[in-house]
Structure 1
Amino acid sequence: MKKLISLLAVVPCLVFAEVKYSGNAGVEQRYFLQEALYPQQERSNISAYFSPEVFTSFNNGSDSILFKGYFRIDQQDSERTHGDIREFKWTHSGEEWEVQAGIGKVFWGQVESLHLVDVINQTDAIEAVDGEDKLGQPMVSFSLFKDWGNTTIFALPYFRERTFSGVDGRFRGPIPVDTDNPIFESEDKEQNLDWAARWQRSIGDWEVGLSYFDGTSREPTFVVAPNVDGDISVRPLYPQMQQVGIDVLALLGGWIVKFEGVQRNVFEQDNSVLINGVPVTFEQQDYFAAVAGFEYSFVGLFDSVYDINLLMEYQYDDRKELATSVAQNDLMVGTRFVLNDVDGTEILMGVVQDLDYSNVRSGFIEASSRLNDHWKWRVDAWFFSSDEPMEPSHLIRRDDFAQFSLEYYF
Structure 2
Amino acid sequence: MFFNKLGLVAILLLAMSSNIFAQDTDEEIIIEEDLIEEEILEENEPTPVEEVSASKKITTEISGNIRGDYRFYPDDALYPNQEQEYFSAIFNPEFYISWDKGNQLIQFKGFARLNQYDNKQSHWDIRELYYQKVFKKWEFSLGAKQLYWGFTESNHLANIINQDDVLEGSDIKNKLGQPMAHLSFSPKWGIIDLMVMPYFRTLQFPGIRGRGRPPFILDNNNTVYESEMEEYNPDLAIRWSHSIKSVDLGISHFYGTSRLPFIAPIDSTNFSLVYELINQTGLELQATTGSMLWKLEAIYRISERKTIKATTIGGEYTFSNVFKSDIGILVEYTYDDRGNESINGLDDDFFFGLRLALNDKQSTAFLGGFNLDRKKGTLTYFAEANRRLGDSWKISVKTLGFENIDNTDFIYLLRNDGFIEVSLAKYF
TM-score over 0.5 for the pair: yes
Identity %: 36
How big is the shift at 1:224? 2.2
TM-superposition CA deviations, 1:227-254 (whole Å, max 9, x none):
xxxx832221111111000000111101
Match of 2:245 among 180, 204, 215: 204
Which residue of 2 is the match for residue 352 of structure 1? 371
How big is the shift at 1:259? 0.4
How big is the shift at 1:322? 4.1
TM-score after normalising by structure 2? 0.86
Question: Does the residue aligned with 1:300 lie in a helix, a strand or coil?
Answer: strand
Which residue of 2 is the match for residue 128 of structure 1? 169
* Cα separation, 2, equivalents of 1:13 and 1:325: 43
Question: Does the residue aligned with 2:411 lie in a helix, a strand or coil?
Answer: helix
Which residue of 1 is the match for residue 90 of structure 2? 49
Which residue of 2 is the match for residue 174 of structure 1? 215
Unaligned runs of 5+ in 1: 1-6, 269-284
| Cα pair 2:343 2:411 within 8 Å, conserved | no
**1:386 partnered with 2:407:** no
**1:375 partnered with 2:393:** yes
The amino acid across from 1:361 in the alignment is: L
* Cα separation, 1, equivalents of 2:215 and 2:222: 18
TM-superposition CA deviations, 1:119-158 (whole Å, max 9, x none):
1011110102233211110000110011100010000000
Q: Map residues 5-154 of structure 1 onto 2, 5 A cutoff.
A: 15-16=16-17, 17-154=58-195
TM-score after normalising by structure 1? 0.89
How big is the shift at 1:387? 4.0
Which residue of 2 is the match for residue 405 of structure 1? 423
* Alignment RMSD: 1.7
Q: Which moved more, 1:179-188 or 1:200-209?
A: 179-188
* Cα separation, 1, equivalents of 2:412 and 2:13: 58
| Cα pair 1:329 1:355 within 8 Å, conserved | yes
**1:192 partnered with 2:229:** no
Match of 2:281 among 220, 223, 244: 244
**1:262 partnered with 2:283:** no
The amino acid across from 2:310 in the alignment is: A
The amino acid across from 1:107 in the alignment is: Y
Which residue of 2 is the match for residue 286 of structure 1? 307
Q: Which moved more, 1:196-205 or 1:390-399?
A: 390-399
| Cα pair 2:204 2:219 within 8 Å, conserved | no
Aligned pair count reads 379
The amino acid across from 2:16 in the alignment is: V
How big is the shift at 1:14? 8.2
* Cα separation, 2, equivalents of 1:116 and 1:388: 23
How big is the shift at 1:62? 1.0
* Cα separation, 2, equivalents of 1:152 and 1:289: 23
Question: Does the residue aligned with 1:232 lie in a helix, a strand or coil?
Answer: coil
**1:164 partnered with 2:205:** yes
Kindly report structure 1 stretches of 4+ aligned residues shifted beyond 6 Å: 11-14
The amino acid across from 2:169 in the alignment is: A
TM-superposition CA deviations, 1:76-131 (whole Å, max 9, x none):
21110011111110000121110000111111010001100001011110102233
TM-superposition CA deviations, 1:202-234 (whole Å, max 9, x none):
0111000000100000001122225xxxx8322
| Cα pair 1:386 1:393 within 8 Å, conserved | no
Question: Does the residue aligned with 1:171 lie in a helix, a strand or coil?
Answer: coil
| Cα pair 1:196 1:214 within 8 Å, conserved | yes
| Cα pair 1:183 1:237 within 8 Å, conserved | yes
| Cα pair 1:164 1:179 within 8 Å, conserved | no
* Cα separation, 2, equivalents of 1:30 and 1:402: 6
Q: Map residues 208-357 of structure 1 onto 2, 5 A cutoff.
A: 208-226=249-267, 232-268=269-305, 285-301=306-322, 304-357=323-376
* Cα separation, 2, equivalents of 1:218 and 1:158: 12
Unaligned runs of 5+ in 2: 1-7, 18-57
Question: Does the residue aligned with 1:146 lie in a helix, a strand or coil?
Answer: coil
How big is the shift at 1:400? 1.3
Against the structure 1 CA distance between its residues 13 and 352, is the aligned structure 2 distance closer, same or farther, given a 3 Å change threshold?
A: closer
TM-superposition CA deviations, 1:318-357 (whole Å, max 9, x none):
2334444311000000111110101111111111111011
* Cα separation, 2, equivalents of 1:324 and 1:49: 27
